[in-house]
Structure formats: C-alpha cells, structure tokens
C-alpha cells in the first residue's frame, strides 16, 4: 500500500519543525526534520574546521561523516559518528553551517537517498527547503510555510533565550535575512514553493492556530487523494 507523504517547506524560523512535529503526532505519522540532517553535516564541518567556502573541502569530510536519524521515545534524535548532537545542531552557528553545506551537491546527494528511503517506508511529514520540489516531488500534500522575517526572528530569539543561549535579536534577524537570500539563490535546489504547494503564512499566529491550519490543509488534500 502506497504511503502518504506530506512535504512542508519554508524559510528558516517559519516554525516548520514544531508545527510539523505536532501535526504528525495528531495524524499518527512519523516526522522527519531534514534540516537536522544538514545541520549535523554542518556540525561535522565546523568541528573539522574546514574552509566553509570550499565545496571540495566540505565534500571531503563526507566519507568520515556518519549521520544517523533515530526515533527515541517518539522523538527524532540526530547522531554524528555515534554521538547524540541533537542539542548542538540547534546553535546559531550550526544553522548557518547547514545553509552553506546544503548548497554543496555532494552533500545533497549524500543525504538524498536517506530521506527518500524513510518516505517510501512510512506515512510521514517531512519538512525542509526542497522537499516538495526535489526530494518528494510526488508527495500527496505540499505546504509552503512562511512568516515575516521579523516574526521569525522573534520566535528564534525567544527559543534561544528559553534554552539559556545568549542571543541578540538584531543579529538573529540579520542571520535570518541572510539565510533567506542564500537559500533562495543557491544553484542547487533553491528555496521556493512547489508549483502545486499551498502557502500558509503564520505571521501573528499562536502555535496552536498554525498547527490547526496545517492539519486542516493536510486532511483536505489527503481526503482528495484517498477518493481519487
């Protein structure tokens, strides 16, 4: 029986991870945060102190980079060469490193099969920046989740503060604007809505409002698919 795949794309700080995870829990699907995969490769590159401007140097660490996605007590955890780096990959420097390594073709190829293999075996919600356009172009439901840069920066700033990580709002906003530009202008799989994606703007929404909007969209599209 063909699995139901939900692709949720959008810029940094749009709430993709939290919203997708909560929607998956309610629908009984597994949740895959593909950004965490790229963040893990980014952490590997930072630890090895490679030249982040060199595609060749970044690609050179891949043979010795083992990325594993595990579900522990229902929660996605990321492992780098056997070490749980689920907290480290959420640091701002890991976010910027993820944006850089995701532009390297060798890195995308390195993670591509892993993402598709999970989707083929499970009913899932997968979020990222090119899921509906590249990774799962035949997903039954595609959503592009966005919000204003200021709204996204405020959310990210509050999230970092709650974790006890020192942050500056203006710097967070600057990083988000830069990442938006980098992600949407990269040559390989740039950030953009799929042609058949539904755009949902969560600016000003409480978390629960955004979750309900996404679940409603998924249920409507999935029902159409089931009736087809």
Mean pLDDT by 10 residues, the chain (228 residues): 88 90 92 92 96 96 93 87 95 91 93 88 90 93 96 91 90 93 87 94 92 92 55
Q: What is the pLDDT of residue 228?
A: 40
- Global pTM? 0.78
208 burial level (CB within 10 Å; 0-12, 13-18, 19+): exposed
The DSSP H or E segment spanning 69 is: strand 67-72
Q: What is the pLDDT of residue 223?
A: 64
CA distance linking residue 222 with residue 182, whole number of Å: 33
Q: What is the pLDDT of residue 113?
A: 86
The DSSP H or E segment spanning 22 is: helix 16-27
Are the CB atoms for 18 and 67 separated by under 8 Å? no
| Alpha carbon separation from 170 to 150, 173, 176 (Å, rounded) | 10, 5, 10
For every residue of 88-156, DSSP letters joined together read GGGSHHHHHHHHHHTT-HHHHHHHHHHHHHHHHHS-EEEEESSIIIII-TT-SEEEEEE--HHHHHHHH
Q: What is the pLDDT of residue 122?
A: 87
Tokens in use for 10? 């959008």
Contacts of 102 (CB under 8 A, 6+ apart): 38, 108, 129, 183, 186
The DSSP H or E segment spanning 31 is: strand 30-33
């Amino acid at each position: 029986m063909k699995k139901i795949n939900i692709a949720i794309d959008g810029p940094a700080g749009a709430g993709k991870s939290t919203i997708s995870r909560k929607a998956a829990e309610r629908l009984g699907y597994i949740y895959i945060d593909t950004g965490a995969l790229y963040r893990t490769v980014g952490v590997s590159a930072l630890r090895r102190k490679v030249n982040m401007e060199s595609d060749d140097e970044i690609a050179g660490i891949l043979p010795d980079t083992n990325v594993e996605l595990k579900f522990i007590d229902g929660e996605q955890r990321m492992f780098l060469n056997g070490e749980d780096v689920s907290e480290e990959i959420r640091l701002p420097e890991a976010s910027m490193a993820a944006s850089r390594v995701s532009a390297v073709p060798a890195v995308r190829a390195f993670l591509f099969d892993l993402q598709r293999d999970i989707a083929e075996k499970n009913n899932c919600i997968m979020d990222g920046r090119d899921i509906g356009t590249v990774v799962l172009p035949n997903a039954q439901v595609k959503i592009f989740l966005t919000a204003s840069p200021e709204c996204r920066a405020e959310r990210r700033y509050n999230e970092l503060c709650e974790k006890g990580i020192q942050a500056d709002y203006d710097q967070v906003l600057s990083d988000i604007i830069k990442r938006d530009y980098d992600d949407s202008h990269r040559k390989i799989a740039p950030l953009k809505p799929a042609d058949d994606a539904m755009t949902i703007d969560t600016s000003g929404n409480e978390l629960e409002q955004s979750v309900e909007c996404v679940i409603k969209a998924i249920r409507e599209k999935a029902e159409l698919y089931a009736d087809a």
